Structure 1
Amino acid sequence: MARRFVQTNSISEMEGLKLLNTQRMNRPVSPHLDIYQPQVTWVLSGLHRITGVAVAGVFYVGALTYLLHPIYPAIDSAHLIEAVHNLPVWFKTSAKVAFALPLTFHSFNGIRHLMWDTGKGLTMKGVYASGYAVMAASVISTIYLAFFV
């Protein structure tokens, strides 16, 4: 005769639901980013989405600002140019980097995605090579735009 060393207890449905919810609170969210090693493929994919939202947000806010011109007449091109002209050089350069990097990255990575749509560069070697090319082109063009334009 087999002997059982495990004992079960009967619990009510509400107690079972409470126990299940307590156990669920301790589980990691699946898939959890902590278990993955960062790779060029998914990092650039996430950055492409983030920079797309950031660039679109800046353009929308900039365009909507001009709608305030009838209420605040100081919001026009002449006043904005004068305000930017009076800023310190270090601030203008920092702002140019902050605007140029997401814009150039999103543009170059968008071209990379369009190349994928044509079926080119879909091997692992091609994906990584184009990813590093996008990063290099973004940095070089950001430096050019921030310091020479």
Structure 2
Amino acid sequence: MLSTRVLGLAPSLRQAAFAPARNQVLKTVIRSSIARRSVQTQSLKPEDGTTILNNQRLLRPSSPHFTIYQPQLTWIGSIFNRATGVALGALLYGFSLSYLVAPGTFDSVHVIEFVSGLPDAVKYTGKFLLALPFSYHSFNGLRHLAWDAGKFLTVKGAYSTGYAVLGATALSSAYLAFM
């Protein structure tokens, strides 16, 4: 190798090794000497493909996310924010549909009469349970608006605002329940 470099033969040897005419002959010889494998396929009905896919999914390992990670305020808060949003939406649509179905039963007068007949403990518990998701979702929405503005994006900022949201939620829920 060193002698070809010293003598200046390396470029001409490379040119001879990679010449198109000789290279093409070599490729043809190699292709004809290698045995070809035939691939067999079979047609499946769409439901058979779905069955095979579902069986393959059952064999996949599941992610151990809940079993190996320590619970953190950020992802617990995210889950609770989504749950409170769903709960508030379900309450809104549930009451709206109930009012459409039976407007005489779910009007303001009947709702106030029904609630006034309940014991005080049930009233305050119900008000607290209604105020909690509203308060949390509202304060966490303000937290997300601050994040969208580029504020509190550090780990310390995320945790401090998370604890502030929890504190504000507890205070405002208690205030709204006993108001």
TM range (shorter): 0.7 to 0.9
Give runs of ≥4 in structure 1 deviating > 4 Å: none
> Which letter does structure 2 place at the counterpart of 1:48?
N
- For 1:34, the equivalent position in structure 2 comes to 67
| 1:36 maps to amino acid | Y
Question: Which segment is superposed worse, 31-40 or 113-122?
Answer: 31-40
Deviation at 1:62, TM superposition (A): 1.4
Whole-angstrom distance in 1 between the partners of 2:138 and 2:159: 17
2:105 aligned counterpart, secondary structure: coil
Given that 1:68 and 1:75 are in contact with CA atoms closer than 8 Å, whether structure 2 keeps it comes out as no
1:78-128 alpha-carbon deviations (Å, 9 max, x no partner): 111101110111111111111111110010001100110010110111111
What residue in structure 2 maps to residue 52 of structure 1?
A: 85
The number of aligned residues is: 126
- 8 Å CA contact retained: 2:99, 2:105: no
Q: 2:154 aligns with which of 93, 117, 123?
A: 123
The structural deviation recorded for 1:35 is: 1.0
2:100 corresponds to = 67
Q: d(CA) in 1 for partners of 2:125 and 2:67? A: 32
Give the 3-state SS of the residue equivalent to 2:142 in structure 1. helix
2:70 counterpart letter in structure 1? Q
| 1:31, distance to aligned residue in structure 2 (A) | 4.7
Instruction: Give the residue type in structure 2 aligned to 1:56.
Output: G
Does residue 85 of the first structure (1) align with residue 120 of the second (2)?
no
TM superposition score normalised by structure 1? 0.77
Give the letter for the 1:77 counterpart: S
Identical residues among aligned pairs (%):
49
Q: RMSD of the TM alignment (CA)?
A: 2.1
RCO comparison, higher one (Cα < 8 Å, 6+)? 1
In 2: Cα distance, 1:42 partner to 1:77 partner:
38
Question: How many Å separate the matches in 2 of 1:58 and 1:78?
Answer: 19
Distance 2:93 2:166 in 1: 26
Aligned to 2:76: 43
The whole-number CA distance in structure 2 between the counterparts of 1:92 and 1:100 is 12
| Aligned counterpart, 2:38 | none
Unaligned runs of 5+ in 1: 1-16
